[in-house]
Structure 1
């Protein structure tokens, strides 16, 4: 569906120039100065008048929605989202499955990581949660993976199917993508652990 926000942004410069031209003439012809704030207010009013006529309620791009929100026009705009069905699957016999997730508030920002470990028959084995200080999403994800693999080794679980929601980190560990220098320290420690254990790392959104 066409993003009507693009039409609105296309005509907005004309509205801005029109209001600046009117303000200039009002100042020169009538001797009445028009402030920049008043010009901005008039432009915003034009946008509010035109927005409903352009049917902005249908689906728009996420970046467009942010701009609409800043103008107070978001309303009932539908932001398209991709839906994926996520299903827990059993690990191979003799293996355990560990789901790991980490995130940094603001990316970078204050970071946390956690997850859960289960046996092949879905029995709960352990859960974990840790704070990792200031960092990026990638850093906390790699650190969380290393910490949980270390825990598995210490608990005697040497066959681990680990699932992460960071495709970048998973691809790098499976040698399908490059690793950022900022993540190298924890990435190298994970790879070292993987040489002493049987580890399968996969991505799940």
Structure 2
């Protein structure tokens, strides 16, 4: 699969240079190559619960040793009756580097109520995470559900949101607005594993790739 993805991306780059006069940077080609492998791998049943970051991080393992070495862990579960879940993620290539955010809200049946994804320019991973949850909470319809659960696999951000730790001063305006938005609502912030945040991870990665 890695070899096929390499051939495909290089073939597209060759055609762009020959027929359109466009020449992308080696870094752009590298990112698109990994994005292609992620997309194709996740379309296979064997990779159903493997998220983009795990595949990115395990690039060499996948190419050299095959799928048996890739860690597959638990998936996302819907909330209880009358509740909704917001999963969010931020992604940064380079840290700092080109970054994106993404997230989605689902009801107790697992149905997607809405989702978001987009670029935020150059940022580090912490800023991407904070801006991702800030955007997600702004979209929430807090009157439609009894309880809201906000999930993310970044322990730092969840601790900042729950008040267990103080956020860096540069993020204080975001957290002050979040506090105002959730005031009077029944909302909890939970830390989950990466695989339980798979769709949000993909949306955040899509926000990054959309600007390259």
Please classify the TM superposition score into its range, dividing by the shorter chain length: 0.5 to 0.7
- In the TM superposition, residue 203 of structure 1 has moved relative to its aligned partner by 1.4
Who is 2:104 aligned against? 116
Contact persistence 1:94–1:159 (CA under 8 A): yes
Instruction: Name the SS of the counterpart of 1:176 in structure 2.
Output: coil
1:88 aligns with 2:79: no
Give aligned pairs, total: 130
Who is 1:148 aligned against? 136
The TM-score normalised by the length of structure 2 is 0.53
Who is 1:176 aligned against? 164
Q: More relative contact order in 1 or in 2 (CA 8 Å, sep 6+)?
A: 2
5+ unaligned residues in a row in structure 2: which ranges? Answer: 1-63, 195-212
The two structures, once aligned, show a CA RMSD in angstroms of 2.9
Instruction: Name the SS of the counterpart of 2:174 in structure 1.
Output: helix
Structure 2 Cα separation of the partners of residues 135 and 186 of structure 1? 15
Contact persistence 2:104–2:136 (CA under 8 A): no
Structure 1 Cα separation of the partners of residues 146 and 130 of structure 2? 19
Contact persistence 1:107–1:135 (CA under 8 A): yes
5+ unaligned residues in a row in structure 1: which ranges? Answer: 1-75
Aligned counterpart in structure 1 of residue 174 of structure 2, from 168, 186, 202: 186
1:22-64 residue CA offsets vs partner (Å, 9 max, x unmatched): xxxxxxxxxxxxxxxxxxxxxxxxxxxxxxxxxxxxxxxxxxx
